[in-house]
Structure 1
Amino acid sequence: MSELADRLAALEARVAALEASSSAAPTPEPSAAPPSTGGAVGYSGDVHLAGDVSWTISYSPDGVLDLPPERSVEVLAALGHPVRFAIVRALLRGPLSATALQESLDSTSAGRLYHHLKALTGARIVDQQARGDYRLAPRTVVPALVLMLASADIAGELR
């Protein structure tokens, strides 16, 4: 996919997210709904690593709490392994072949590498461009960096 197509896809995803967050949901019965917490939580980024990517998203705290957990847990589990985390860090700098990834990870065998890549592609974090060539989809660059930053913050690494 060309850089222009990647940027268009990222823009379309942003518009869809904005439309989804601003569409009026049916109002539940007053007695059945917990009080709204109000406020907003979000993140944004303007990243120039292996290409230019801009991303902004914002949700209400209630909206975040109402998101189905299954896919989110899959993403967090995929990033929760040190080798997978290292793969994502390497791919944030740009696309790499499986051979280059294996070399950058030192002691990981080809079989283990493909096992980890399968988990990352299944969680839609990593895209396979061509046979043996991998990259982060533009739509995942800023969220991946935010997850890395947020986890470092929770771990106390930023203080």
Structure 2
Amino acid sequence: MELEQRVADLERRLAALEGARRDTSRLDGSDFWALNGLKEKLSELGAEGGGILYTGSVRLPTGEPYAWQMGALTEGLLETDWTTAAESFAALGHPVRLRLLREVLGGLRTAAELAELDEVGTTGQIYHHLRQLTGAGWLHTPGRGRYEVPPARVVPLLVALATTRP
């Protein structure tokens, strides 16, 4: 019950933030509850170089709920080999693959259902795109011919999409 209350409180806060005017030029902290929490945590850790945090509480059109949080220290991100991320980014770099991901999140889960969509190409092309997304970890196959976005990838996918908005 305590967890349900906490999630409900977070959802209310998120709704309030979504309805509020978004002025990111204000850095006084009044609208940056997540940022302030991150700064506190970084201070506790003695992480002078800073860090990042992304989190989300999502209910898909299919009704499936996802709650997820990921953080990383800046130092670790800057020192790692970024070329290992190329395959993951490349998989997202095609409009048809993004469409397929959106449709899978929306409830179309089989290759046959996806093949019925307009403007996604031939069956062979669809399977090529599905293999690219699966190989990069954006999709997995829980059963023959069925596709799902892994739970740990739902919020990061939506975060990646959100970063493309001005």
**Cα distance change of structure 1 residues 38 and 89 upon mapping to structure 2, 3 Å threshold:** same
Tell me the secondary structure at the aligned position of residue 124 of structure 1. Answer: coil
Give the TM-score taking structure 2 as reference length: 0.65
Q: CA RMSD in A?
A: 1.9
Structure 2: runs of 5+ lacking an equivalent: 1-41
**Runs of 4 or more consecutive aligned structure 1 residues displaced over 3 Å after TM superposition:** none
Q: Does 2:56 match 1:45?
A: yes
Question: How many pairs are equivalent?
Answer: 119
Q: How has the CA–CA distance of structure 1 residues 77 and 105 changed in structure 2, closer, same or farther, with 3 Å as cutoff?
A: farther
Matching of residue 64 in structure 1 with residue 69 in structure 2: no
Per the normalisation by structure 1, the TM-score is 0.68
The percent identity for this pair of structures is 35
Q: CA deviation at 1:111?
A: 0.2
Higher relative contact order (CA 8 A, sep 6+): 1
Distance 1:63 1:109 in 2: 42
Give ranges in structure 1 of 5+ residues lacking alignment: 1-21, 23-35
> Aligned partners of 1:137 and 1:81: how far apart in 2?
19
Counterpart Cα distance in 2 of 1:95 and 1:107:
14
Bigger Cα displacement from structure 2, 106-115 vs 73-82: 106-115
1:39 to partner: Cα distance: 1.7
Q: Counterpart amino acid of 2:71?
A: S
